[in-house]
Amino acid sequence: MIDRGSPVPSVGVKLVSADGATDTTSDAILGTGLVAFFAVPGAFTPTCHVNHLPGFVANEAKLRAAGVERIVCATVNDHHVVKAWAEVSGALGKIDFIADGNAELAEALGLMKDFSASGMGLRYARSAMLIRDGIVGAVFVEDAPGVNASGAPAILMALEAAYN
């Protein structure tokens, strides 16, 4: 797993934003300013859709007030599914999304988790990071089901403690 102080890897991904989907690299998305990055096992999956993403949407203004310049969500889904999820959730335009369809960024970050037993294959472990200018400042990985360590409230507390 990526450690505090490590640079974010450069992996080809699709950026899904209000402007559409574009081919880019993870370091281009995560490498400038203070970024609140969170990763979910899958778009539209119950915990991701009902608990994890909505917390970041609801706390967008607070995160920005705390100095976050970009909020980014990554998931191992194709960019069509990710765009539909962003639109339905009301997150498009507030949060940028990384469609990591082949789990290459998940693997490069050391955050890949095998969900094959539930028919989902390789996905992200539910997690979050604070990244400043491409360097990981903090990593939060859930050690049990649910959203606690990687949710927006935990990120806000970490921002208050470490970055203010």
Catalytic residue numbers? Answer: 48
Q: Who's near 137: CB < 8 A, 6+ residues apart?
A: 4, 129, 130, 131, 162, 163
Type of residue found at 155: I
Read off the DSSP letter of residue 6.
Answer: P
Read off the DSSP letter of residue 19.
Answer: T
Q: How far is the CA of 115 from the CAs of 41, 120, 122, 123, 124, in angstroms? A: 9, 5, 6, 7, 9
d(CA 10, CA 18): 23
- Asked whether 152 and 125 are in contact (CB, 8 A), the reply is no
